């Protein structure tokens, strides 16, 4: 299918020191290279520094970050923020101070977010960027639950350690606090791909290398593998970033069985914040539906949410690459009837033919050919729902880079 509405021209802010002929001509220059969507609140911090390690899908000559207080009930003040190159664990080099509107400190009211000013720092595809933030008083930070790597905190009362080395950060956490996106300045890039969905997008299973085997921090989500494939396989003039917008447990539609912990995190509700507010977005890989079925949504509910999301993405000039709902052994007979109806909608056209750029049929990748409601055993983490490292690789390898 030929897609005639793919190009998104975001509003780009570029300081004079970073201007290039391409940027001056109106070509996008800032692209979101890493993202993790906020979903709830973490434990309180008090006069502590937080060091979050972000894994960039592409690099550039400068960076800027987004910080959020989406679910906070009180203001959150960051007294000092730095970015640096990660040197493994909590060690850093090339530390740079960040400002927000020219000021060192920034206060985020409940429900708000902001982007930092840009700072020159050379990065590349696969660079680990450390974002360190100090909270002088007491605050409750927003977080993304599953970082699938170690991030780091100082001890309470340790003060501003945003420029310190790793020994200042004795506490390890496996969530990501406050920072939700990193942009890179690189006019040579063509766009940003945003995988949008629930746990399989988030990366559940990507640390599972077999029974009793865990690889924490090796960046083996299928979205990470896709980013490496793009960096290695696409021409220099067609390079894309990959910014993950997965949140485990979430649904495309608002379903009757949704738990309080995912209220307000359906795809329609978070589309603007977690996808369209990123920079340079040209493509979305839409991977939802398994939780919708088990949480009581019908095929009509799911398709209605698809239509709403896809129409908004199309209006923004973003191409949609949609995957059918993948296997799950816990589906009831009615779930499977609804699953077939949704998958017929995305495979055979209907309204999707007017809004979808391509089909990314992960159902073909993951399904057990002898048990169609189960995952192929070599790809199964053991829960019948999530793909292990081998399955993550298979998903990423299936994607046609030319479709992007």
Res 23 pLDDT > 50: no
Res 79 pLDDT > 80: yes
% residues pLDDT > 70 (the chain): 92
The pLDDT value recorded for residue 183 is: 98
Task: Specify the DSSP element, H or E, that contains 21.
Answer: helix 21-24
47 vs 283: CA distance, rounded Å:
40
pLDDT band of residue 403 (cuts 50, 70, 90) is: confident
104 vs 338: CA distance, rounded Å:
52
316 vs 276: CA distance, rounded Å:
8
% residues pLDDT > 90 (the chain): 84
Q: At which residue do the structure tokens 């995190």 appear?
A: 265
The pLDDT value recorded for residue 355 is: 74
The pLDDT value recorded for residue 10 is: 33
The pLDDT value recorded for residue 3 is: 36
Mean of pLDDT values over 78-96: 98
pLDDT band of residue 372 (cuts 50, 70, 90) is: confident
User: What's the pTM?
Assistant: 0.92
Name the residue among 284, 277, 102, 82 with its Cα closest to residue 180.
277
With contact defined as beta carbons under 8 Å apart, do 66 and 59 qualify? no
With contact defined as beta carbons under 8 Å apart, do 26 and 9 qualify? yes
Q: Give, in order, the Cα–Cα distances in Å from 273 to each of 38, 70, 80, 264, 297.
A: 10, 9, 24, 12, 24
User: Over the stretch 122-132, which tens digit does the pLDDT of each residue have?
Assistant: 999 999 999 99
Res 347 pLDDT > 90: no
User: Over the stretch 50-71, which tens digit does the pLDDT of each residue have?
Assistant: 999 999 999 999 999 999 999 9
The pLDDT value recorded for residue 351 is: 57
Burial class for 3, CB neighbours closer than 10 Å (0-12, 13-18, 19+): middle
Mean of pLDDT values over 375-393: 95
pLDDT band of residue 356 (cuts 50, 70, 90) is: confident
The pLDDT value recorded for residue 191 is: 97
With contact defined as beta carbons under 8 Å apart, do 82 and 102 qualify? no
206 vs 389: CA distance, rounded Å:
5
DSSP string, 257-282: T--GGGTT-SHHHHHIIIIITSSSEE
């Amino acid at each position: 299918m030929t897609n005639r509405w793919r190009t998104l021209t975001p509003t780009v802010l570029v300081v004079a020191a970073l201007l290039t002929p391409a940027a001056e001509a109106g070509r996008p220059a800032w692209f979101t290279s890493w993202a993790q969507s906020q979903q709830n609140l973490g434990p309180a911090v008090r006069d502590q520094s937080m060091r979050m390690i972000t894994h960039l899908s592409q690099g550039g000559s400068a960076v800027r970050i987004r910080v959020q207080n989406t679910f906070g009930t009180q203001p959150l003040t960051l007294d000092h923020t730095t970015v640096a190159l990660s040197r493994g664990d909590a060690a850093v080099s090339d530390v740079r101070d960040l400002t927000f509107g020219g000021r060192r400190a920034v206060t985020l009211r409940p429900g708000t977010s902001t982007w930092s000013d840009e700072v020159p720092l050379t990065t590349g595809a696969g660079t680990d960027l450390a974002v360190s933030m100090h909270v002088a008083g007491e605050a409750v930070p927003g977080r993304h639950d599953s970082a699938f790597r170690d991030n780091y905190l100082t001890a309470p009362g340790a003060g501003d350690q945003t420029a310190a080395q790793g020994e200042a950060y004795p506490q390890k956490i496996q969530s990501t606090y406050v920072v939700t996106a990193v942009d890179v300045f690189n006019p040579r890039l063509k766009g940003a791909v945003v995988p949008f969905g629930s746990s399989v997008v988030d990366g559940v299973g990507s640390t599972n290398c077999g029974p009793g085997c865990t690889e924490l921090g090796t960046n083996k989500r299928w979205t990470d593998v896709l980013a490496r494939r793009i960096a290695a396989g696409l021409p220099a003039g067609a390079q894309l970033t990959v910014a993950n917008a997965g949140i485990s447990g979430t649904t495309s539609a608002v379903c009757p069985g949704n738990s309080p912990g995912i209220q307000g995190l359906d795809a329609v509700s978070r589309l603007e914040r977690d996808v369209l507010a990123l920079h340079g977005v040209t493509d979305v890989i839409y991977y939802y539906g398994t939780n919708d079925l088990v949480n009581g949504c019908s095929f009509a509910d799911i398709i209605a949410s698809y239509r709403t999301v896809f129409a908004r993405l199309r209006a923004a000039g973003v191409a949609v690459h949609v995957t059918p709902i993948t296997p799950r052994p816990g589906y009831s007979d009615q779930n499977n009837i609804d699953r077939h109806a949704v998958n017929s909608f995305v495979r055979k056209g209907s309204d999707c033919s007017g809004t979808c750029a391509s089909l990314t049929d992960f159902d073909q990748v993951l399904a057990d050919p002898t048990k169609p409601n189960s995952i192929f055993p070599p790809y199964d983490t053991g829960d019948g729902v999530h793909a292990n490292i081998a399955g993550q690789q298979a998903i990423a390898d299936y994607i046609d880079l030319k479709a992007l």
